[in-house]
Chain A
Amino acid sequence: MRDVLDFEKPLLEIEARLAELRQTGSPEEAARLEERLRRQQRKVFANLTPWQRVQLARHPRRPYTLDFIRLLMEDFVELHGDRAFGDDRAVVGGLARFEGQSVVVVGHQKGRDTREKILRNFGMPHPEGYRKALRLMKLAEKFGKPVVTFIDTPGAYPGIGAEERGQAEAIARNLREMTALGVPIVVLVTGEGGSGGALALGVGDRVLMLEHAVYSVISPEGCAAEILRLTAADLLKLGVIDRIVGEPPGGAHRDWEGTAEAVRGALRATLDELRTLGPDELVGQRYAKFRRIGVFEEAL
């Protein structure tokens, strides 16, 4: 079986048997097995280790930004380039209509097959990707449209060209400008939120996160996942995200439509909530939101 995680295997085996039973067996037997499948599914997903969650967040069949745009939005017009150096295919963005409203949408983009993975640089942007994103966000601000960003990256690309063209500067500038953008910004962490390369699209009025997405200070490998506190539930507790968007049973990769519908509901509610706020209120509240984050003590 391709693209199947170890802990998914028993579930898929039951599913295969269920499909067989539905063809040839009795309806009672099928119903019993289905009940067993649901129970097993709940059990497996309730007991995922942080590392298993990282694997889920990186699942090769998980919906990516362009999939979400296709499933959620109409009239998408992709816009390219940073007007300075090039067009980074690891970041996509453009104009779209969401629930009858114009929005600017931006996100990291991973590739599905080898050719596209290389084209998208495995979702790891260069500076021009971040600069394109900022250009589009400024466009949104100029015309009073809300911004929706999708986060899914192992991190900003560590390479010679990226350093030569100011990877750090591009990220830093996005952080500074996003904190003061005069239109609503809704962030959805869909897969991997890898360090500064994720945060550079991640400063928003509301930060939502899919149930099995992860978000962390470094791209976690193996046991580091256990200690980093990078799951949606952890991040909600730490005050870093505002809302968890539940995924269908088995995870987003098993049911794109179901996932998109959950995201649609959360996104619509969040945008409705923010639409009533003026630019000063938005920026003031956004400042306060990030200003609060951190744990320290103070001896007087």
Chain B
Amino acid sequence: MAWWFRRREGEGRSRKVVIAEGLWIKCEACREIVYRAEVERNARTCPKCRAPFRIGARERLELLLDPGSFEERDAGLRSQDPLGFKDTRRYRDRLRAAREKTGQEEAVVSGTGRIEGHQIAICVFEFAFMGGSMASAVGEKVTRAVEFAARKRLPLVIVSCSGGARMQEGILSLMQMAKTAAALHRLAEERVPYIAVLTDPTTGGVMASFASLGDIIVAEPKALIGFAGPRVIAETIRQPLPDGFQRSEFLLEHGMVDLVTERKELRELLRRILAFFAEPSALPLP
């Protein structure tokens, strides 16, 4: 869970799209220079290596939901600074900078929307907001979304994109893992489906809580997914890591995700899953 702690500012974004002004952009996954319009046509996916470029929460919502169907909830929920935290910078300053940079109050956006008419509750993580890290406010927003989904019996989709805990909130961040997991137990008792969508990266305390607890778990191709960060593992075992380690395809091979789906197929996949669950059960429930 600590990989981001050792990370220098700006690291861990190796696959973020680098938008050179103009017609061409570089894919950080395969290092190829690719034609920008082609990337845009493919739901921001590299035409050469098929790695998806990282996208923000709003863009994700646009890609997944029926146009105009998103209604945001708990938009006013935001972090404080419970520990009075300061390392190289004050937490308060980091928060202010993140808000300015992203136009979001926090690292997750939540609400309701429709996918081909199926009403759902949805949370989407914003990596540009402090690495999508799990502050108290983030845990609270996710928990409220889960509780809302249980109350309204709305299928829940959570699109994760997070390095894990937010160190600046210390133990309070850690406890959000238990809080969100508890809410998901209640959702499960209500037999409301939860679909976890894992994108690059989903690691640490996010992966070790709600992101791992989907009835169905879908990953985007080549996403970094795991508990410990690759750097921490490499330092611990003092060996180079195998190729493809902790990438989506590796998790699929080891039975940790249900399927790996390309971004432009994701909406259709969710539609099918939602259609499956939308039918009232023909059999008596045990």
Contacts and interface: CB of A to CB of B under 8 A. Distances in A.
A195 B186 CA distance: 24
Interface string A140-161: 0000000000000001111110
Contacts of A228: 83, 167, 170-171
Contacts of B209: 171-172, 175, 196
B185 A216 contact: no
A300 B174 contact: no
B6 to A, nearest CB: 10
B76 A300 contact: yes
Interface string B181-207: 111111011000000000000001101
Contacts of B89: none
A17 interface: no
B140 A159 contact: no
Nearest to A219: B2
B1 interface: yes
A99 interface: no
B174 A217 contact: yes
Interface residues of A, number: 55
Interface in B1-43: 1-2, 5
Interface stretch (A102-110, A264-272, A285-293): A285-293
Interface stretch (A30-38, A70-78, A162-170): A162-170
A158 B182 contact: no
Contact of B173 (A165, A171, A203, A217): A217
Contact of B184 (A176, A218, A219, A234): A176
Contact of A229 (B83, B135, B175, B208): B83
Contacts of B186: 287
Contacts of A196: 1, 174, 177, 204-205, 208-209, 227
B2 A195 contact: yes
A286 B255 CA distance: 32
B282 interface: no
A299 B76 contact: yes
B226 A293 contact: no
Nearest to B234: A158
Interface residues of B, number: 66
A173 interface: yes
Contacts of B5: 218, 224
A238 interface: yes
B178 A172 contact: no
Nearest to A295: B82
A159 B236 contact: yes
A274 interface: no
Nearest to B77: A298
Contacts of A200: 208
Given A217-B170, A218-B1, A296 B182 contact: no
A14 interface: no
A159 B226 CA distance: 11
A230 B170 contact: yes
A279 B133 CA distance: 34
The listed residue with most B CB atoms (<10 A of its CB), out of A217, A287, A300, is A217
Contacts of A199: 174-175, 177-178
Given A168-B208, A196-B208, A229-B170, A294 B176 contact: yes
A47 B175 CA distance: 28
A296 B1 contact: no
B236 A216 contact: no
Interface stretch (B47-55, B64-72, B148-156, B241-249): B241-249
A253 B3 CA distance: 32
Contacts of A168: 207-208, 211-212, 226-227
A166 B183 CA distance: 21
Contacts of B181: 172, 175-176, 179
Interface in A220-234: 224, 227-230, 234
A175 B176 CA distance: 11
B132 to A, nearest CB: 15
B229 to A, nearest CB: 8
Given A293-B136, A295-B172, A299-B76, 5 more contacts: A160-B241, A171-B227, A179-B181, A228-B170, A293-B178
8 contacts: A171-B227, A172-B213, A173-B212, A218-B5, A230-B171, A291-B143, A297-B137, A298-B78
